[in-house]
Structure 1
Amino acid sequence: MPSRDTATVVSLKDQGKRGPTMTKTLLITGASTGIGAATARAATAMGWNVGLMARSADRIEALASELGDAALPLAGDATDLAAQQAAVAQTVERFGALDAAFANAGRGLDTPGTENGDPDEWRQLVDLNVMGVLYTARAALPELRKSKGHLVLTGSAAGRRHIKGSIYSATKWFVHGYGGNMSEEMREWGGRCTVISPGMVDTPFFDTPKPDKIKPEDVADAVMFALESNPRAEVREIHIMPTG
């Protein structure tokens, strides 16, 4: 990483604005726990500002308090396009620009399968795992175009292979396909898109702990590797699997 003028960075964080030595800014959806929260911690540790979007106002307020002036809590639902647009606008107002957006919010199904599944639950799944990703891109792209910025999407190992009858997996196939399509579009104006593809991660996504699986911090490290890579190189996908 290029060296930073520490005094200038601190001053910019106090002011909440961009200046000659520019602190980059990342917006994260699903930021209250797991991968989102770990990425927020990793980003601020590397000198980034972060906008933290999640439905749980209490959790993102607590995380923002932990991270200090570099973090902005943004309570909102990722399945609401207007809420995502407002989050982008507030982030830019606070920090001066948007350099990256991480479409991380997602969910699974309580009742898997097509014959036995719950169509209402399918709708909620698609609204978040598909439409929520599209809404993040739609809201962020006008600002990312200005900064030649970076779009990051949370895919899954489940989106890289066929799993019998899995509707969740199919939503992640969408993320992987869309990420590649966005790479082709964004490269035309100097932007980049990365799909982060983890296997099983030990997060609150699961009802029981998975201590032998990937940790959220491992995924956060992958996100930051992609964001901090030289602008001449686009890391299109990072696939992470547990060694156990």
Structure 2
Amino acid sequence: MTKQKIVLITGASSGIGKATAKTLVKSGHKVILTARRQEKLDKLVAMLGEDNALAVAADATQFDALEKVVKAGINKFGRLDVAFANAGTGISISGTEQGDPDEWSKLIDINIKALLWTAKLTLPNLRETKGHFILTSSVAGRTAHKGSIYGASKWFAYGFGQNLAEEMAQWGGRCTTIAPGMVNTAFFDEPKPDKLDPVDVAEAVLFAIEAEQRCNVREIFLMPTH
């Protein structure tokens, strides 16, 4: 039987984060949920059960706010086994020449800085449990897309995940970079029902954390079948 894991999820109020929380709790794990909107998190906790989930609203780009999330989770559950750095955003104007620097700044804050803050704040706890760090990159972080600043941020995430896996291996920790293709979430203005579903990514997270401890699933690359 798989050991129950205590899992922190950023960007947990919708899309991939929400689907992952539901999938993990259904499989017997417990979750610490954070996102900016407390009301959405509270609804999710009501669905999952207060014994299984804790919601702490925070802006993941704010180091001090995220630190409070980690501390609250440890206070409730006593340890941390997995951190899933899933919070992310896109931009509305593609290309470098026509791009909006203010939008780029916000993108870097959430897609890069929040990822770093999550790792910095959770690694001491993960070291204690020989735990697991998981992050959401993208197919856009593995292939070239003309003028894509978003893609460049996901290249950072992809490279960071590979490097972090080497760092964590020194003390028996595991790191998984998940690189999905297009996922049908609110990220897009129009629904994409022929693309991946958030539950597909959630099941990839579950697969990675439930793998035998000797097996470090370092990367999962997901693409729609059609």
Q: TM-score range by the shorter chain?
A: over 0.9
- Residue identity matched to 1:73: A
**1:106-126 CA-partner distances (Å, limit 9, x unpaired):** 000011111111100000000
SS of alignment partner, residue 75 of structure 1: coil
- Residue identity matched to 1:208: E
SS of alignment partner, residue 189 of structure 1: coil
1:146 to 123, 128, 145: 128
CA distance in 2, matches of 1:47, 1:31: 18
Matched length: 225
The runs of at least 4 consecutive aligned structure 1 residues that moved more than 6 Å come to none
Displacement of 1:31: 0.1
The answer as to 2:105 corresponding to 1:123 is: yes
The match for 2:159 is 177
- After superposition, residues 57-76 of structure 1 pair within 5 angstroms as 57-68=38-49, 69-76=51-58
- Residue identity matched to 2:172: G
- Residue identity matched to 1:87: V
CA distance in 1, matches of 2:83, 2:115: 10
- Unaligned 5+ residue runs, structure 1? 3-21
The match for 2:37 is 56
The match for 2:93 is 111
Q: When the two structures are superposed, what TM-score results if normalisation uses the length of structure 2?
A: 0.98
SS of alignment partner, residue 98 of structure 1: coil
Displacement of 1:223: 0.5
2:8 to 18, 27, 39: 27
The match for 1:204 is 186
2:140 to 158, 162, 168: 158
CA distance in 2, matches of 1:227, 1:23: 10
**1:101-156 CA-partner distances (Å, limit 9, x unpaired):** 00000000011111111100000000000001000001100100000000000000
The match for 1:47 is 28
Displacement of 1:23: 3.5
CA distance in 2, matches of 1:96, 1:55: 24
CA distance in 1, matches of 2:92, 2:43: 28
**1:69-88 CA-partner distances (Å, limit 9, x unpaired):** 20101100010111111111
The match for 1:214 is 196
Displacement of 1:230: 0.5
State the structure with more CA Rg: 1
State the percentage of identical aligned residues. 54
CA distance in 2, matches of 1:189, 1:126: 29
CA distance in 2, matches of 1:110, 1:57: 26
**1:130-187 CA-partner distances (Å, limit 9, x unpaired):** 0010000011001000000000000000000010000000000001100010000001
